[in-house]
Amino acid sequence: MVTVTGTDVFGGQQSRPIKGCEVGPFLALKLSAFANRQPPKDAYDVYKTVLHYDGGVAAAARGFRAEAESNSGFSVASDTLAGHFTTAGGRGPTRCAEFMIGGLQGQMPAADFDVRRNQIREEMVGVARLLRNE
């Protein structure tokens, strides 16, 4: 449980406890979901979660790997990383890039779009390698 405090849409201060999910189980869940459905949003969620985890990328990777002993979905998640995220042309990196910038195609110079798409794909491969401890 985490208490979130802030201003609501009416300008009043609110403070509420919410249930949260730690990084390891969340990544295992998202990767297991990707194995079955392969939606771009799941790949993007893995990318953003690891790169923006408040404990840092190394802690996110350790949290994910710690799930190996207790999370029944870990083997599917790990196999998904190996099968879909290890190359820039893989389904994971491709779908992540599509989610992030697919709507910008035609709205920026083609060369810039290609560079950014390739950058996202390569970053996603780096995330996968980090999660796999390579």
Q: Quick one: pLDDT at residue 104?
A: 82
Residue 43: inside a domain, yes or no?
yes
Mean pLDDT of the chain: 95
Residue 87: inside a domain, yes or no?
yes
Residue 27: inside a domain, yes or no?
yes
State how far the Cα of 99 lies from the Cα of 6, in Å rounded to an integer.
29
Domain that holds residue 113: 22-131
The total number of structural domains that make up the chain: 1
Q: What is the pLDDT of residues 70-93, one digit of tens each?
A: 999 999 999 999 999 999 999 999
Query: CB 131: neighbour CB atoms within 10 A?
Result: 23
Residue 66: inside a domain, yes or no?
yes
| Residue 132 · residue 61 · CB < 8 Å | no
pLDDT bucket at 106, cuts 50 / 70 / 90: confident
